[in-house]
């Protein structure tokens, strides 16, 4: 589930999900970006294990890594946006920092 959420996050740069999933996704995606910052074959293979979409892999290494080259962490932000109508689950928006 986290792999699919991470793929969607990297593709669209923001997604809406429950707060618990957003917090776990934040940990998962930050680790992936940090791994990818090695920017060598080993880093590409490590990220490829979790992200299967080739277009998203290309975006990570060609668009996101140059954007985050000078950052040490904090690549994502989580915003609470209220409760879901059906079951009152706390919803949040997770997005990649510009």
Q: Is the pLDDT of residue 77 over 90?
A: yes
Output the domain CATH number for residue 6.
Answer: 3.90.1030.10
Tokens, residue 17 = 């999900």
Backbone angles phi, psi at 69, to 5 degrees: -65, -30
Question: How many domains does the chain fold into?
Answer: 1
Q: Quote the pLDDT of residue 4.
A: 95
Identify the domain containing residue 29 by its residue range: 2-96
Band of pLDDT at residue 87, cut at 50, 70 and 90 = very high
For residues 68-79, give the mean pLDDT. Answer: 94
Partnered with residue 79 across adjacent β-strands are 93
**Which carries the bigger pLDDT value, residue 82 or residue 98?**
82
For residues 85-94, give the mean pLDDT. Answer: 96
Span 16-42, pLDDT tens digits: 999 999 999 999 999 999 999 988 899
Q: Is the pLDDT of residue 49 over 90?
A: yes
């Amino acid at each position: 589930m986290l792999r699919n959420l991470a793929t969607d996050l990297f593709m669209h740069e923001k997604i809406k999900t429950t707060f618990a999933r957003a917090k776990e996704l934040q940990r998962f995606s930050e680790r992936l970006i940090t791994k990818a910052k090695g920017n060598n074959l080993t880093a590409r293979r490590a990220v490829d294990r979790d992200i299967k979409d080739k277009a998203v892999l290309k975006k990570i290494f060609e668009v996101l890594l140059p954007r985050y080259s000078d950052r040490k962490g904090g690549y994502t932000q989580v915003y609470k946006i209220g409760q879901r109508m059906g079951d009152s689950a706390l919803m949040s928006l997770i997005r990649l920092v510009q």
